[in-house]
Structure 1
């Protein structure tokens, strides 16, 4: 499961490295660039609830769902490589967003149910796969772009995607993944009702939405900032982008263990405050080692905090609706964060790239403020995280 997650994120993170080339080839404006990320988020949001329901209702078919997610990522880049207009690039982003929506509910719900008493650690280790794909992928793609064009490279990724999709389907199909038995319409909707009845869940989702707005803004415009303001070529662009994720390979397991041992709040509140300060510092250096150090420090928290927030929500959700709960959390964040890239694009067009990092900093401090009012029990006081609270 962790290897598949690495592959999914390898394909997701190819796009930021390709973005400067796409922008130049099609002559896109900053607002149009923001629209690309909005299309990706919108597609992911529309599919997230159906994917969550499928993860809960068709437990024995999760191999097929996960295989389709991998295959769709490869197909998306084939579309991108032959796209003649902005519309077809939008279609590429829609497919890429759909691939992410298919993968996460099935994989997260499986791990959440199998490791309920170590949910934070399990989801964190799953997140390590994402960190590998997010960090190694951009570095390799940046190096390959020194030798081949981005369109050729995008086409080449179709073949491994299909091969890996077949392997994932056949491998997962061999195992009867443990899950809740006797799922009925009544038990399903009772579980969903329990999610809506807990204000703590919505507070976690609101805070996570602030973090997501900042993350989307940074992932949209940091590559352009590095390419246009710092003058970095493909390799150094890939190197710095990899730094944003590489440190998560080391920090995520530690965050998961600490959140299981103490509480989710113990981990998330200081992480969000630190990220707010780092965003403020991001535009200060004129490149070089200091910029790389700040981006690497951001990488300690950039992705892993989302897994701990997800664990906090799944802790109090019924085991009958783990996939749906993860999907609902994702959908909530998608709706709230959908306009964020376009708003960031407007900010950049009016005030320059640096201001988007100040905007992101304000969002992180807002998330930290929300978490000061969230009460999450210590893991020792919870009934194995199965929602019996």
Structure 2
């Protein structure tokens, strides 16, 4: 399932970059499906599973996927494969060497490190957000679930705005702004759990997690049209695979250190990512 899902995003984003000039906005709208699914799919699957059984609930995936597949074949024009001389030479060297060669490029390596630091904290807190609210702030499971759902609503709207801003202004500045909001969200989550503060923390965190709508177009901007599939695929694969360990890491930190220290660690990770972006921006390193 993970392999099949992973096949989609990279080539879809590359197709959007060839089709639209405003890549940030296009990626932001395209990615809207992820938080929308995170909000709606569990509800729909649980309702169908409780009413008709779990096999029909799983079959719901097919009912959603088949019409999309048909519409794509019908409405989206095919594109010609593109491969430049450097990619042909990379193929001759072998897949592993070509992979490492792309990853070693300073702009891709820089963006990958920034994304890994941020995604570690993001994936970790998303995985445990309801648990954190129940155990640390004594929320009821129902209220914690409401906050969790609200996060997906905020992220869905914010990533379109973040992508739009990255098209209009410097992408590094927009990424840095999101990461700064990530630092602030960790601190607000730690304070008094009153409703206004938790609403503020959810808005800040939902906006912060939309940083990829500016960072991914930045990576695409730095790649030639012919190498976008390979280069963007390398970037996405590494930062998602490594960043996904955040779920394990945050769980281990919470068991060993407690929730307060864990959120401080996540704030430091956001701060490190923010510092990398600001150093690149202030000193004009060109990454």
TM-score, L = length of structure 2? 0.82
Aligned partner of 1:330 in structure 2 is: 236
Which sections of structure 2, spanning at least 5 residues, go unmatched? Answer: 92-97, 283-287
Displacement after TM superposition at 1:289 (Å): 3.8
Aligned-residue Cα RMSD (Å) equals 3.1
Match of 2:62 among 150, 162, 175: 162
Structural mapping, 1:224-303, within 5 Å? 224-229=131-136, 230-233=138-141, 235-286=142-193, 288-302=195-209
Q: CA deviation at 1:188?
A: 5.1
Label 1:257 to 1:236 Cα distance change in 2 as closer, same or farther (>3 A). same
Matching residue within 323, 330, 347 for 2:253: 347
Between 255-264 and 179-188, the greater mean CA deviation after superposition: 179-188
Cα separation, 2, equivalents of 1:320 and 1:154: 44
Match for residue 113 of structure 1 among 18, 25, 28: 18
User: Where does structure 1 lack aligned partners over 5 or more consecutive residues?
Assistant: 1-94, 377-389
CA distance in structure 1 between the partners assigned to 2:227 and 2:241 by the alignment: 21
Report the TM-score, using the length of structure 1 for normalisation: 0.62
Map of 2:95 onto structure 1: none
Relative to 1, partners in 2 of residues 1:174 and 1:310: Cα closer, same or farther, differing over 3 Å?
same
The alpha-carbon distance between structure 1 residues 188 and 299, as it changes in their structure 2 partners (threshold 3 A), is: farther
Q: Which residue does the alignment assign to 2:224? A: 318
With over 3 angstroms needed to count, the CA separation of the structure-2 counterparts of 1:305 and 1:180, relative to structure 1, is farther
* Number of the residue aligned with 1:203: 110
The answer as to whether partners of 1:137 and 1:242 remain within 8 angstroms in 2 is no
Structure 1 segment 1-389 matched on structure 2, within 5 A: 95=1, 97-115=2-20, 117-137=21-41, 140=43, 155-183=55-83, 187=87, 195-196=102-103, 198-229=105-136, 230-233=138-141, 235-286=142-193, 288-302=195-209, 304-375=210-281
Change (3 A) 1:253 1:221: closer
- Aligned residues, how many? 275
